[in-house]
Structure 1
Amino acid sequence: MDQIKNNEAYRKVLEAFKNQRKGATIADITAKTALPLDSVRELVGVAADEYRARLQVTESGEILYSFPHGFVSKYHGFRRNLSRTMEKIKKGMLIAGTWIFKVWIMGMLVGYFVLFMLIALASLVISVAGSSSNSNNRSSHRGNGLGGMYFTSQIFNLIIRIWFYSELTKSLDGRYYENRRAKPKGRPLYKAIFSFVFGDEDPNGDWASREKRSVIAYIQAHGGVISLPEFMTLTGLPPEKADPAILSCCAEFGGLPEATEEGTVVYRFDPLLLRADSQDRSFTGLSAIIKRLKSFSSNKKNMNVWFGVINGVNLAFGTYFFFNAMNIGGLTSQTPIGAGLYPFAVTHMLFSGLFSDPLPFITIGLGLVPLIFSLLFWLIPGLRYLRLREENEAVKFENMRKIGYGRIWENPREVKAGDLPPDIPECRPRNLAAAADKIIKELGSYAVPDVTLDNRGNPVYTFTELAREKDALKKYRSSLDGSTSSLGKTVFDSEG
Structure 2
Amino acid sequence: MAEWMEPSDAARVLEGALAGLPARAELTIADAAAKAGLALRDAERGLHFLSSRYRGTLSTTDQGELLFRFPHGFSLPLGKRPWFRRAVDRVWSAAKGAARFAVRAWIAVALLGYALVFLAIALALAFSGRDDDGHGFDFGWVVLRVISEALWWTFHPFSPVARRNVYDGSLWEDRAGRRRGARAATGGPGAGRRTVRRKVKRFGQEVEIEETLPDDDVPFYEKVNRFVFGPAAPPADPRELERRLVATIRLQKGRIGLLDVLRVTGLPREEADPLMARLLLDYEGEVDVSDDGAITYRFERLRKTAGDVGVDAPAPAWTERVTAPPVTGNAGGPNFLIGAVNAFNLLMASLALSWNLSLDRLAWLLTSAGSHLPTPPPEPSTAVALGVVPFVFSLLLFALPVGRSLLQGRKERAAAQENARRAVLKTILEETEKQAASTTPSTGVHAGALRRAWQEETGEAPDDATLAREVAALGGDVDVDALATGRGLYRFRDLEAEVKELQRQRAAAATEEANVGAVVFRAE
TM-score of the alignment, normalized to the shorter chain, above 0.5: yes
For residues 287 and 147 of structure 1, the distance between their equivalents in structure 2, rounded to whole angstroms, comes to 62
Q: TM-score, normalised by structure 1?
A: 0.75
* C-alpha contact 1:17 1:24 (8 A) present in aligned 2: no
- Taking structure 2 as the reference length, the TM-score comes to 0.71
Match of 1:234 in 2: 264
1:247 is the counterpart of 2:267: no
CA contact 1:232–1:402 (8 Å) conserved in 2: no
The correspondence for 2:233, drawn from 202, 211, 222, is 202
Query: Which of 192, 208, 212 does residue 223 from structure 2 map onto?
Result: 192
1:74 aligns with 2:78: yes
| Structure 2 counterpart of 1:12 | 13
Query: Residues 27 and 151 (structure 1 numbering): CA distance in 2 closer, same or farther, change over 3 Å?
Result: same
In structure 2, what is the equivalent of residue 468 of structure 1? 497
Tell me the equivalent position of 1:145: 138
Q: Secondary structure at the match of 1:325?
A: coil
Distance in structure 2 (CA, Å) of the matches to 1:49 and 1:329: 65
1:214 is displaced (CA, Å) by: 1.1
How far apart are residue 390 of structure 1 and its match?
A: 5.8
> How far apart are the structure 2 equivalents of 1:53 and 1:460?
58
Which among 507, 510, 516 is matched to residue 481 of structure 1? Answer: 510
User: C-alpha displacement at 1:218, in angstroms?
Assistant: 1.1
* Aligned counterpart, 1:296: 327
Distance 1:110 1:421 in 2: 48
Specify the SS of the correspondent of 1:208.
coil
CA contact (8 A) 1:214 1:289 kept: no
Match of 1:107 in 2: 109
For residue 481 of structure 1, report the CA deviation from its aligned partner: 1.2
> Structure 1 pair 287/377, CA: closer, same or farther in 2 (3 Å)?
closer
Structure number with higher strand proportion:
2
Match of 2:289 among 252, 256, 259: 259
**What is the RMSD of the two structures over their aligned residues, measured on CA atoms?**
4.5
Question: What letter is aligned with 1:234?
Answer: V
Change beyond 3 A, Cα 1:166–1:422: farther
- How far apart, CA to CA, are the structure 1 residues paired with 2:232 and 2:461? 29
Alpha-carbon offset, residue 76 of structure 1: 5.6
Indicate if the aligned counterparts of 2:248 and 2:314 stay in contact, CA closer than 8 A: no
| Cα distance change, pair 145–89 in 1 and its aligned pair in 2 (3 A) | closer
1:418 alignment partner in structure 2 = 451
Q: Is 1:211 the equivalent of 2:241?
A: yes
SS in 1 for 2:114: helix
Tell which deviates more after alignment, 247-256 or 158-167: 158-167
- State the alpha-carbon separation in 2 of the partners of residues 360 and 273 from structure 1: 81
Residue 256 of structure 1 deviates from its aligned partner by: 1.6
| Alpha-carbon distance between aligned partners in 1 of 2:247 and 2:487, rounded to the nearest angstrom | 38
Partner of 1:97: 99
Q: What's the secondary structure of 2:297's corresponding residue?
A: strand
Counterpart CA distance in 1 for 2:499 and 2:114 is: 66
Look up the SS of the partner of 2:228 in the other structure. helix
Answer whether contact 2:27 2:308 (CA < 8 A) is retained: no
Report the AA paired with residue 298 of structure 1: G
> Secondary structure of 1:272's match?
helix
Q: Is the 8 A contact 1:51 1:70 kept in 2?
A: yes
Matches within 5 A, 1:419-438: 419-421=452-454, 428=457, 433=462, 438=469
Matched residue, 1:268: 298
Aligned equivalents of 2:462, 2:273: Cα separation in 1: 26
Rounded to whole Å, the distance in 1 between the matches of 2:237 and 2:331 is 27
2:346 to 315, 323, 327: 315
Whole-angstrom CA distance in 1 between matches of 2:284 and 2:419: 28
- After superposition, the Cα gap between the structure-2 partners of 1:485 and 1:392, relative to the gap in structure 1 and judged at 3 Å, is farther
Q: 1:285 to 1:304 in 2, by over 3 A?
A: closer
Distance 1:156 1:438 in 2: 62
Question: In 2, Cα distance between the equivalents of 1:431 and 1:207?
Answer: 34
User: For residues 171 and 76 of structure 1, what CA distance do their matches in structure 2 show?
Assistant: 54
Q: How does 1:6-405 map to 2 (within 5 A)?
A: 7-21=8-22, 22-71=25-74, 72-74=76-78, 91-123=93-125, 129=130, 133=134, 145-146=138-139, 170=171, 173-176=174-177, 186-203=217-234, 205-278=235-308, 281=311, 283=313, 286=316, 290=320, 293=323, 294-325=325-356, 348-350=364-366, 363-382=383-402, 394=414, 396-405=416-425
Displacement of 1:174 in angstroms is 0.6
Following the alignment from structure 2 to structure 1, what is the Cα–Cα distance between the partners of residues 380 and 53?
62
Q: SS at 1:175's partner residue?
A: coil
Contact 1:64 1:276 in 2 (8 A): yes
Q: Output the CA distance in 1 between the equivalents of 2:80 and 2:418.
A: 49
CA distance in 2, matches of 1:6, 1:87: 22
Please give the alpha-carbon distance, in whole angstroms, between the structure 2 residues aligned to 1:458 and 1:360.
82
Q: Deviations over 1:104-130 (max 9, x none)?
A: 333321232233234334555667x55
Q: State whether residues 449 and 463 of structure 1, in contact with CA within 8 Å, keep that contact through their aligned partners in structure 2.
A: no
Q: CA deviation at 1:206?
A: 2.3
Change (3 A) 1:239 1:74: same
- On the 8 A contact 1:211/1:289 being kept in 2, the answer is no
Q: How many residues align?
A: 454
Cα offset, 1:192, TM superposition: 2.1
Structure 1 unaligned blocks of 5 or more: 135-140, 332-344
Summarize deviations over 1:260-285 as a string: whole Å, max 9, x none: 34331101122221123456646498
Mapped to 1, the partners of 2:170 and 2:484 lie a distance apart of 53
Shift of 1:361: 11
* Alpha-carbon distance, 1:208 to partner: 2.9
Separation in 2 of the partners of 1:148 and 1:184? 38
Change over 3 Å in CA distance of 1:377–1:323 after alignment to 2? same
Which structure's residues are more often helix, by fraction? 1
The structure-2 alpha-carbon separation of the partners of 1:276 and 1:177, relative to structure 1 and needing over 3 Å to count, comes to closer
Q: Relative to 1, partners in 2 of residues 1:268 and 1:401: Cα closer, same or farther, differing over 3 Å?
A: farther
